[in-house]
Amino acid sequence: MNFSYQVTKEDFSSAGDASSNFKRTLKKIGIPSNIIRKIAIAMYEAEINMVIHADGGVIEAEVLPEQVVVRLIDKGPGIEDIDLAMKEGFSTATDEIRNLGFGAGMGLPNMKRNSDFLKVNSVVGEGTTVEIIVNLV
């Protein structure tokens, strides 16, 4: 089963809608709650990063017999130093974003912690693709 969601830059009123909708779908098809939790957290963190940092993008989610694959593809500034961005507390969020309660520098670390496989590809000035895989077995 394949799903697709659009994410709009700085649309904080809809931020998290894709991950919430996908979470409900996973519940309906009977995915165990402990696995749904991991997917929902990782996908939410990536979705919020798209809203904050990118010029929008798309989330493609696929439920396979043995795993769930979520790909987030954005057009944006890209990530200059992925290793640095993976460190807890590192953030490039503006003060305005931090005042909204975002930008604590936990997005990528939380994605990694809640996935079985995380791959981040980024080209500065073009955008970022994040692939999150959570095993079902």
Beta carbons within 8 Å of 41's beta carbon, 6+ residues apart: 110, 114
The pLDDT-based confidence of 48 (bands split at 50, 70, 90) is very high
Residue 101 and residue 119 in contact, taking contact as beta carbons nearer than 8 Å: no
Residue 127: CATH number of its domain = 3.30.565.10
Q: What is the pLDDT of residues 106-121, one digit of tens each?
A: 889 999 999 999 999 9
Average pLDDT of the residues of the chain: 93
Tokens at 82, concatenated: 């992925």
Quote the pLDDT of residue 98: 84
Residue 72 and residue 130 in contact, taking contact as beta carbons nearer than 8 Å: yes
First to last CA, the chain: 17
- Least confident range of 38-42, 62-66, 88-92: 88-92
Quote the pLDDT of residue 103: 77
Range of the domain at 99: 2-135
Nearest to 52 by CA among 3, 120, 5, 108: 108
Residue 68 and residue 26 in contact, taking contact as beta carbons nearer than 8 Å: yes
103/110 Cα distance (integer angstroms) = 13
Reported pTM: 0.90
Based on the structure, what is the number of domains in the chain?
Answer: 1
The pLDDT-based confidence of 56 (bands split at 50, 70, 90) is confident
Quote the pLDDT of residue 97: 84
